[in-house]
Amino acid sequence: MSKGFFNKVLWIDLLNETFDEQEISDEIIRQYIGGFGLGVKLLYDNLPAKIDPLGPEAILGFFPGLLTSTVAPLTGRFMVVGKSPLTGGWGDANCGGYFGPEIKKCGYDGILFKGKANTPKIVTIIDGQKEIVDASDLWGLDVVELEDKLKEKYGNIQAASIGQAGEKLSLVSGIVNDKGRLAARSGLGAVMGSKKLKALVLKGNKKIALADKDTLVKLSQEYNNRLQNNTSTITEVFKTYGTTGFIKPHVMANDTPIKNWGGTFQVDFPKDKWWDKFDEKEILKYKKKSYGCFSCPVRCGAICEVPELGIKETHRPEYETFTAFGHLCLNGDLMSIFRVNDICNRGGIDTISTGGIVAFAIECYENGLLTKDETDGLELTWGNAAAIIELTKKIINREGIGDLLADGVKIASEKIGKGSEKYAIHAGGQELPMHHPKAVNYFGASYLYDPTPGRHTTAALDNFTGPVFKPNGMFEGFVYPRKFRKPGEERKKAGRLFTGLWQSLNSLGFCYFVILQQQYPLTELINAATGWDINIEEIITTGLRIQTLRQAFNLREGINILKNKLPERAMGIIDHLEDYRSVIEKMGWNPDNGYPTKETLADLNLDFLIKDLY
């Protein structure tokens, strides 16, 4: 009997209303781990090339990490995968909370949907009983209203659902669990909406067999105790303020984009406009209780109450949301950030992309490319909090100007014309996150050239390598070459190492911030769960296999990400293409076209790709 996983995924055909279980071998689990690693393997094998991502042939998959649902700390995440309707290539979105572990509790290493329902549906898996249920009466509800109704009917369930943005096929819509945690990026909420699937509802009672439960529990308790007793500044900031504790440091380091990436905080959004209002202690006043994902000892989230707005319960906005609707739009109104965050969560839309869309629309309006008649009477001026809120509602509901903007800045600029493309800040069709390549060099390469472009949660080499963030020693056996910050062979080697590590960490179900905490017993916990004898070298090789298959998915779609360009105002100080080429050459990919070599494919047990790529 396998340990740590179930060797099984569930396929759900929404058109024919059938459920089919597929056995997954131990070999495939070990080669691809779980999460989007297993997801990309199954999608590549089962999804025809160049299909319409919103058509009935499209596949949408939900995958917990390998360690998700065990007590291993910081492993509560799951991934949604599919072909992205936003970028046209590989799509994945990562989310925490309590939904991911419930997939495992239902006895599956993944749940995949194909086909398209004729009418709105929810799918329920309750204590082993599987049903496809009419949801016509639930279509149109926001996700908070929906989850309340589902719990009233089914009890203590976990649900992943779409709001109005996903129903209306906004290409920046996401999938929501826990009333406000979003698998937000890649536009996969639109894929779910295209299938007329309102929600996946889960309640399981299965337990995962573990190879060495005592060791896994012991190691987890020791790590948690170290973390609870840790007095380091960064851990305390996470515990107390979450990511809002990093707003000021990021802005002061010129890492936060200002005025749709065209300004600076010193000139365009100085301290007197936002400093006191966006103070982490001021935001903390609205905290009602701490919120943490499954198996997380840090609990960096918070449930807030905002009496001024009549909001009794909402998730605290994250750094990305504060800066996307704040600094990017020159908006210093704290209450508007709470309001717009709640609106986006309920409507099921990506706050990073939506903030970028609003900033784009404001700049178009300020430069006469959109008139007041075209904006439905909204005065889209910098810092106009009321207009920002109303425009966000319109985008979610595809009303008036919102219909033009609901598919992102790239498509909107193509429709507006008049030179508006220079204000459309994206990579490969996806709006950029709130971190500037001018502050963190390798973000430029990861924004441009990862299989899911425009992402800050990819393997950005320079992201966790500052004076506070020291990955060396974080995992036993993982060490960067000494001179990796400087161009040359050691930087190339470091890029390869971190890419492999990062893709495996994602597929294991780890939180993005695991690398910022205490030394983590990575291989020991994997082996205690599975009975394997994995080491750091195999973890890195497995991550490289996953990244190579994600790349191959795009190559099969005819996408050449090496042709992606960043807008001038979002460029860093180095040549991102040359930096990226140097790393992928070390990974065994052709630096001129991004194709993995035949030798690399053979070495990674990806021989089946040779016939597709060559």
What's the pLDDT at 239? 93
Decide: helix, strand or coil at residue 230: coil
What's the pLDDT at 428? 96
What's the pLDDT at 487? 81
Report the amino acid identity of residue 537.
E
369-378, 432-441, 557-566, 570-579 — which one is most confidently predicted on average?
369-378
**What is the SS3 assignment for 6-64?**
CCEEEEEECCCCEEEEEECCHHHHHHHCCHHHHHHHHHHHHCCCCCCCCCCCCCEEEEE
Summarised one tens digit per residue, pLDDT across range 476-532 is 888 888 887 778 888 899 899 999 999 999 999 999 888 888 889 999 999 999 999
Residue 3 has pLDDT above 70, yes or no: yes
Residue 431 has pLDDT above 80, yes or no: yes
74-88, 468-482, 578-592 — which one is most confidently predicted on average?
74-88
Residue 465 has pLDDT above 60, yes or no: no
Crossing angle for the helix pair 385-397 and 334-347, nearest 10 degrees?
0
What's the pLDDT at 368? 98
CA–CA separation, 62 and 46 (whole Å): 15
Vertex 612 angle, CA 607 and 614, to 5°: 85
Mean pLDDT of the chain: 95
Confidence of residue 467 (pLDDT cuts 50, 70, 90): very low
Check if CATH label 1.10.599.10 holds for domain 443-613.
yes
Strands 175-177 and 121-126: unpaired
Summarised one tens digit per residue, pLDDT across range 355-387 is 999 999 999 999 999 999 999 999 999 999 999
Residue 180 has pLDDT above 60, yes or no: yes
**CA distances to 63, 66, 291, 569 from 22, in Å:** 14, 17, 35, 48
Strands 110-114 and 121-126: unpaired
The runs of H, that is alpha helices, within 477-535 are: 489-508, 522-530
What does pTM read for this prediction?
0.97
Do 241-424 and 443-613 come out as alike in CATH topology?
no
Summarised one tens digit per residue, pLDDT across range 240-249 is 999 999 999 9
471 against 315, higher pLDDT: 315
Share of the chain above pLDDT 70, in %: 98
- Indicate the domain borders of the chain: 8-203, 241-424, 443-613
Q: What are phi and psi of 573, to 5 degrees?
A: -100, -5
Summarised one tens digit per residue, pLDDT across range 185-225 is 999 999 999 999 999 999 999 999 999 999 999 999 999 99
Q: What CATH superfamily is the domain 8-203?
A: Aldehyde ferredoxin oxidoreductase, N-terminal domain (3.60.9.10)
Residue 231 has pLDDT above 70, yes or no: no
What's the pLDDT at 106? 98
What's the pLDDT at 551? 98
Beta bridge partners of 431: 426
What's the pLDDT at 469? 53
Residue 6 has pLDDT above 70, yes or no: yes
> What's the average model confidence in pLDDT over 232-245?
90
Decide: helix, strand or coil at residue 479: coil
Fold category of 241-424 in CATH = 1.10.569
Residue 473 has pLDDT above 90, yes or no: no
